[in-house]
Amino acid sequence: MFVTSYDSQATARSAGSGGGDSSRPWTELASGYERARAKEDSLDRLVEWPAQRDLLGDVDGLSVLDAGCGNGGKVAELVRQGGAVASVGVDIGGSFITAPPAGLELIQGDLSNLASVPGLADRWFDRIVFLQSFGYAKDPVGVLQTARRMLAEGGFILLTRTQPVRYAIERAEQNGTSLGEEYFSTASFSYRHQGWNEQINLTKRPYTMSDLLNIFSAAGLWIETAVEPQMPEEARQRYPHKQAVLNKYLGILMFKLRPLPS
């Protein structure tokens, strides 16, 4: 299974239960995700995080907001090793690393309502990142508009999402349909995340590339850079089973977004 962060709609239910609030899916999956991400052969370690760091560039002396930061490990690395300052990680789960470095504050809050998260009022950031967390935004355009208003002059947003073709391939195989039928389907679908917590049924909103582009435009953002990272050759040779996943499901999309001129 392609290891990504939470990229699902904020509705889910435990197997056999009667639903729950929007925080439950990630709260119950978070520990499983962090364990998977830490594995030597995780695609986050091999592909995603190196590409994210490359797109972020030099963060020394810059402030970073990680919206949907998980346990806060990535933004902590940006502070501890990259020299980022006055940075914040926000996550709805609240299960954060212990002893975060000086210059980093980890806050429990909902990325769907960043403006109301305690401690973020009247703050600006040089980099705002949604690292596979954007799928949980209840109002995607509104969330990006809020993030845009929180950008310092010259700042940008880094946003990553799973390649939407991946979900279409999976549904086509499960339903005996075609890739095109599933790619353009608007019906939500559910599945259990093997490897994280198979007791949780996630409900996902399908999306297309044009959906993403239209969201960015409606939020007043333009794409400076788009990247679809792949594994380096050494990693391909060492972890052929992971390369097979990328060959089938294509991987992840990364966007460097800047505000449109006023």
Residue 42, domain member (yes or no): yes
Residue 195, domain member (yes or no): no
Compute CA distances 103 → 55, 63, 90, 183, 210, whole Å.
22, 9, 14, 43, 38
Q: How many domains does the chain have?
A: 1
> How does residue 8 score in pLDDT terms, banded at 50, 70 and 90?
very low
Residue 187, domain member (yes or no): no
Residue 67's domain comprises 12-164+208-259
Residue 47, domain member (yes or no): yes
Residue 141, domain member (yes or no): yes
219: CATH: 3.40.50.150
Judged by DSSP in three states, 204 sits in strand
Contact yes or no for 6/73 (Cβ under 8 A) = no
Residue 181, domain member (yes or no): no
Residue 151, domain member (yes or no): yes
Residue 79, domain member (yes or no): yes
Which tens digit of pLDDT belongs to each residue from 110-139?
999 999 998 899 999 999 999 999 988 999
Q: What is the arithmetic mean of pLDDT over 4-30? A: 43
Which tens digit of pLDDT belongs to each residue from 39-62?
788 888 899 999 999 999 999 999
Q: What is the pLDDT of residue 86?
A: 98
Which tens digit of pLDDT belongs to each residue from 222-262?
999 999 999 999 999 999 999 999 999 999 999 999 999 97
